[in-house]
Structure 1
Amino acid sequence: MAPISTEELHLFHKTHREVFCFLIFKLHRDLTQSLLVMSLWIWLEHNGYPDINYKVMDLPYTLANALVTEAVSCLECIEAENSHIPNNGGLPITKGLTQKDISLKMFNKKRYTIIAGIKSVLKNICARIFADVLQIILKSRIINRVRASGGNIFDMHLTVPGFPHPLFGKFDISTNNTMNLDLSDEKIWMGNGPCDDVTDDDKSMFLTFSKGFPVSEPEVRYLFTRTYGDCVQSLSMGSAVVNDQSLFAMMILKSVRTVDQILNGKRVAKLHINGKHIWVRKYERRE
């Protein structure tokens, strides 16, 4: 199978490209915000909400703008420590457009699943299908800025403002003009969508224990296996030991969805095993 060309990729994602340009040039939305909104909508497409990208440009201007504002509120809900969720769910236009039960509560409950999904969409889809549009916009901005300052243009390093993002990480504009597709790869035929290539960091959790109440590795494994099934990929008890007791542990799960199940919309979950407390939170790597 020959690699997919840029033209073929653009044709396949024609609607996504049109909507992205619509957000920037018609609704005059911020470039970085538009990129994140598109990533969110594409993730929703792959998770049972297929209508947004195909209907947004048919909406009246004010309604389309309000729909984008709802998408931004979804992103803010993911990022915020504590989000207020209105009684109507906060997404009436999105709900009406998709004819699905969707609210900000979902973005609170599935926070880390959606973060991993958006990261995957940014890297695997948006970096490829919007590369030419982003290059045109960013180059134009640099040229205008340099001309205004009276400088000379030599080497233009294109970076999208706002990246690396505190939640979604790096975003590198793809310069490849072809995309390899191995049709013998079984994953292509299994209906897998974005979020299937999550990293171990996406699935990692940090556990802490109380001094004087030692928790063993078998106890930790039993606690999570009993509640969430065969979910533990690896478990490392902390090397910092006080009175023969590990005070923390690092756990990598098999699925990022289990992270959200454990936390249930909270930043820290308090669990119990044999009368002993275990505090669990999402592991965040510090660069």
Structure 2
Amino acid sequence: MASPSSFVSQEEFNIFHSIDRQLYTILVVNLWRDPVESMQVMALWLWLERLGYDSVVKKMISLPQILVNELADEAIICLNCIHNNLISSSSESNDIPLTQTLMEKEISLQFFLENRLNGIAGLTKIMNDVCIRALLDLMQQAIERNAAQSLAESQMVISHSIHQPVVPPGRHGAGDMVQPRTPGADVPADDRTMFVTFSKGYPVQEWEVRDFFARSYGDCVESLHMQEVQPHQQALFARIIFHKANTMEMILRGMGKVKFSINGKHVWARKFVPKRARSSLLLPPPSNFPSTSFRP
């Protein structure tokens, strides 16, 4: 017997799932995340909605995109629990603080381990019934855009190599004297930036973050950017740019994510991963991608 959805036209189906298409577009266009992996992430979030975690997608649409990116990273950890029965041996990596905040009720990685079989079946059904039909055209467009981008980047590298003048070793003109360089002075800011998140209900102030790192690591913070919120709202994340990249390395201790306490409030930290930059030589998103007006 045919399912009811088979009598719905593709256009009607897309309209019904327009908010899901908007969120998927943010993942693969605005944030440049992997299109196939992002479809699995969407399936996870839709599965959680069916389990009673209310309005997951709707809540994410209203978030700054930097938080959507972090939530997608946490979703990958949850998917590993379901598909691979895997939790990192590092206790600091076992937390999904932003997901817990978003769901507004109890959820943990243990939940995904305990519901692996239901999760596999539920994710498969949502992928087949919803994601493939509602998101496939967007996924194909994103894959084509990424392939075109990679080709443009390769051509740019080849062109640069061909036109780069070759200077024999040891032969420099009068104006080519090698200037002394300060160690770490040319490290881009993104490579010296850490992203930290805070638990909802336990507000952390900017002065607390600055004081914590000053007491622990000395005068190490070049700048600190808290999430901009209304006076009655709590910041959920911040970006910290250090004077030296090795300060961040000391804090993270070689791990992907660490947890520490600032005045009794939990804070999670990881290396900041910026959105992929678009140069003037790279292709724009296809014109038939749905437009998004969400702030970054």
TM-score by length of 1: 0.46
TM-score by length of 2: 0.45
